[in-house]
Amino acid sequence: MADTEDVKDARNYLPGVPAPHDGFFLKGAHQLDWGMRNRLARIFRPASGRTVMLAIDHGYFLGPTTGLERVDVTIVPLLEHADALMCTRGILRSTIPASFGNGVVMRASGGPSTLKELSNEQLAVDIEDAVRMNVAAMAVQVFIGGEHETQSVHNMTRLVDAGLRYGIPTLGVTAVGKDLARDARYLGLATRICAELGAQVVKTYYCDRGFEAVTAGCPVPIVMAGGKKLPELDALTMAYSAVDQGAAGVDMGRNIFQSEAPAAMIQAVGKVVHQLMKPARAYEYYLSLKEEQRKRGR
């Protein structure tokens, strides 16, 4: 306990200096609790307001995936270049070093494999386990227009409620079925539903026409999904177009870990996302890093 002798009256109240009441650097997050904003700041860089999230959660429904056969060998060396990591709790506990200090976005829904109807997911992680793992956010798949649409939306709202109790953001992931078009009208509908029902961040696909309207119509940050493997220049161009049109970063998996030079690719993506480096220049940067790595590997 502090000594109470010779205590002086406090006088330095600075009545002429207003207390700061700055907002938060992320769209739609200025009224969230401190803990939730702190977790979001572990996912998104405050300086740019954007993120390069490395997605490696594919195994939760695909099983072993090309590039993810040995996460300890192929992914752990990439972590130093990732602002955040999206993974399952099994991989987090078994493989990811606890020294990884950036944000972990944990896959919290699951159930069916590719052998079944994918929209029939349930919540697969208890909120208390998410707290134990100190994750920065929880991710849940939302199948707007899918066979089990209402169930998947209910999964998300239950996760949002649990996250609000513990200060953990929810990432709503919009899933596009094979019979649904990835156009601005659909993506705008799906992302707005996720945000309206409480998701603090939404992940969705890029579309060539109208993506700026999708991001503008969503009151929380949108992170672009990388999708299928593309040639490196095409993937960098898609990332640039997305952030240039309002996305708060990318969540890429196959376009990084299935690249010929994954470490070079994730660094090139970082240049695009955080510095708005033009795709052609970023591709040259990728090639130079790839060549440096080749020489070191001799």
Dist. CA 33–CA 164, nearest whole Å: 9
Tell me, rounded to whole angstroms, the distance of Cα 296 from its chain centroid.
Answer: 32
Q: Which of 27, 116, 178, 203 is catalytic?
A: 203
Dist. CA 70–CA 235, nearest whole Å: 24
Which H or E run contains 52? strand 51-55
117, 107, 130: which is closest to 59 by C-alpha?
107
Phi, psi angles (nearest 5°) of residue 60: -65, -20
203 given a catalytic annotation: yes
* Tokens read off for 21: 């009441």
Which residue, chain included where needed, has tokens 């509908």? 189
Which residue, chain included where needed, has tokens 């196959």? 254
Catalytic residues: 203
